[in-house]
Structure 1
Amino acid sequence: MKKKLLLIIGLIGVIVLLSGCTQIDQDITSESEGIWNSFFVYPLSWLLVKVAEFFNAEFGYGLAIVIVTLLIRFVLLPLNIKQIRSSKAMQQIQPELQKLREKYSSKDQQTQTKLQQETMALFQKTGANPIAGCLPIIVQMPILLAFYHAIMRTAELRNHDFLWFVLGEPDPIYLLPILTAGFTFLQQKIMMAGMSTQQASNPMMPQMTMMLYIMPIMIGVFALFLPSALALYWVVGNIFMVLQTLLVRNPMMNNEAGGTQK
């Protein structure tokens, strides 16, 4: 969990750094050069503009961000489902992992090598993957950065009003950052819900609880300074994730309950 938190902080830090170092003062066009511009920023900018033009309404560009966000979430759906299943598997094997740590508590190299081997064997046997929990976050970071550039380098997007805010500017009443933090917390809370007493007492619980509170605060603080369109992307994405978690986790819990009764 600590590694995951450091990874998230590092990736968001990279976004902020790159946002300040790259050509955000130059509008994106089909003539823009470079892999980043040609394959990430311009296609996203083009898609957002085309979706907005399709609606041709006062709220067209804001609706475009909502719709494109949902499209991206549907594309990432298989990866997110894998994350949920892997996280649940990791929770379930915590007692066995703790037994392995106690069995191979010695710090000499031979013992630690044996611990790593048996830990990997346990992961393969149960289908748990500690890296899977970070994959959706790693994938989302380039998308978030591309969204930032598409907004700031597309005049129609950055200057357009939606509801009470300008898409290319921070939320003046701070409602979006609050919603961003709130839905991030809700999504993580739902992910942790339904644990058995045995799972709730596992050694990872303090780290999971720490992430439950630190992540929403961190994301909310970033949303205070970033364009409102990015906060809108995060809010819509988290609402989608909440519904997805409920729809995926509940059938998994029902299947487990049925298996236990048999």
Structure 2
Amino acid sequence: MQKVNKWLKIIGPLPIGMAILALVGIVVAGFSYSGSVAGTGLWGSIVAVFTRSILGASNWFGSSYGLGIIIFTILIRFLILPLMVYQVDSMTKMQALQGEIKVIQAKYPGKDAESRQLLMNEQQALYKEHNVRPFASMLPLLVQMPILIALYQGILNSPVLRSGHFLWLELGQRDPYFILPILAALFTFASSWLSTQANPEQTTITKLMPYIFPVVIFFTALSVPSALSLYWVVGNIFQTIQTFYLQNPFKLRQERDAARKLERDIQRKMHKARRGRKHR
């Protein structure tokens, strides 16, 4: 119960409330679709729930299946918002500990098994002391992967969605003008760049990430149905706004600069005080 309370305190009531409303919206959308969507077994039932939700949301807008996918994407993003907030909190704590981690790594270079074990033990103790979960950043990805697979299978298994049209798109086919893959890549870059800029300690890998992910998304979006590309575009727009709100790098830089200035001022005053005592 204590762990649950800590988790709730980190996330806050607003993201949890939004997630509950999103879940209600997904359920209501599914029940508002009167047609039949087949699904066998546990996984088939999950795919059927997603498909019904998209079709139900589409009915709210005169059977516009593109708008149905957009609404469904936004609901899913709000549903996993608590996980995203928890992820950002863990990443921020990890970034704040980078200095101490470097000290531990210098102490135990990891050149032999004993050194590697001691390094791992001290890192784990440091994470436990500051209530940091290193693998928390994987949670949103682990949740979203089944959603993507279920959405892909829902499109393939639903003749209605597969033959649906939205703007210039045939949702069951690839984007003929590559507009969605380009947009998906651009907004992937935007969210990745913002997240990277919020990190005070940047390695070569973290600097390359904002450029690698968009390329992967672009070429993947070229080969999947437009409905899935549309999900990526809307999801990445949401992710960009969310990253700016939760990890505003410009605000974080100002706070870090102010903290460094305050520390320099304190050090300068202490130095002057020591010099004054020496001259007495």
| Kept in 1: contact 2:198–2:247 (CA 8 A) | no
Distance in 1 between residues matched to 2:118 and 2:256, nearest whole Å: 34
In structure 2, relative to structure 1, the CA distance for the partners of 1:207 and 1:167 (3 Å cut) is: same
Q: Does 1:46 align with 2:52?
A: yes
TM-score, normalisation: structure 2: 0.74
Q: Secondary structure at the match of 1:225?
A: coil
| Kept in 2: contact 1:177–1:223 (CA 8 A) | yes
Q: What is the match of residue 36 of structure 1?
A: 43
Equivalence map 1:172-191=2 (5 Å): 172-191=176-195
Q: What is the match of residue 239 of structure 1?
A: 237
Q: Secondary structure at the match of 1:134?
A: helix
Q: How many residues align?
A: 226
Equivalence map 1:16-165=2 (5 Å): 30-38=37-45, 40-56=46-62, 60-165=64-169
| Kept in 1: contact 2:183–2:233 (CA 8 A) | yes
Report how far residue 89 of structure 1 moved: 2.1
Distance in 1 between residues matched to 2:194 and 2:179, nearest whole Å: 22
Match of 1:223 among 198, 202, 221: 221
Report how far residue 128 of structure 1 moved: 3.0
Report how far residue 133 of structure 1 moved: 1.4
Structure 1: which 5+ runs fail to align? 1-27
1:12-40 Cα offsets, whole Å, 9 max, x none, are xxxxxxxxxxxxxxxx95443111111x1
Q: Secondary structure at the match of 1:107?
A: coil
Distance in 1 between residues matched to 2:69 and 2:140, nearest whole Å: 19
| Kept in 2: contact 1:167–1:228 (CA 8 A) | yes
In structure 2, relative to structure 1, the CA distance for the partners of 1:125 and 1:190 (3 Å cut) is: same
Q: Which has the higher contact order (CA 8 A, sep 6+)?
A: 1
In structure 2, relative to structure 1, the CA distance for the partners of 1:195 and 1:54 (3 Å cut) is: closer
| Kept in 2: contact 1:29–1:42 (CA 8 A) | no
TM-score, normalisation: structure 1: 0.79
Q: Which moved more, 1:110-119 or 1:180-189?
A: 110-119
Which 4+ stretches in 1 moved above 6 angstroms? none
Distance in 2 between residues matched to 1:127 and 1:258, nearest whole Å: 25
Match of 1:169 among 173, 194, 211: 173
Identity of aligned residues (%): 38
1:46-93 Cα offsets, whole Å, 9 max, x none, are 111111112215xx1100000010000001001011112222222222
Distance in 2 between residues matched to 1:234 and 1:195, nearest whole Å: 24
Report the RMSD for the aligned CA atoms in angstroms.
2.4
Distance in 2 between residues matched to 1:236 and 1:120, nearest whole Å: 37
Distance in 2 between residues matched to 1:147 and 1:123, nearest whole Å: 36
1:95-127 Cα offsets, whole Å, 9 max, x none, are 221211110125333322211111001112233
Q: What is the match of residue 252 of structure 2?
A: 253
Report how far residue 138 of structure 1 moved: 1.3
Distance in 2 between residues matched to 1:194 and 1:141, nearest whole Å: 25
- Residue identity matched to 2:142: I
The structure number with the bigger radius of gyration is: 2
Q: Secondary structure at the match of 2:247?
A: helix
| Kept in 1: contact 2:152–2:228 (CA 8 A) | yes
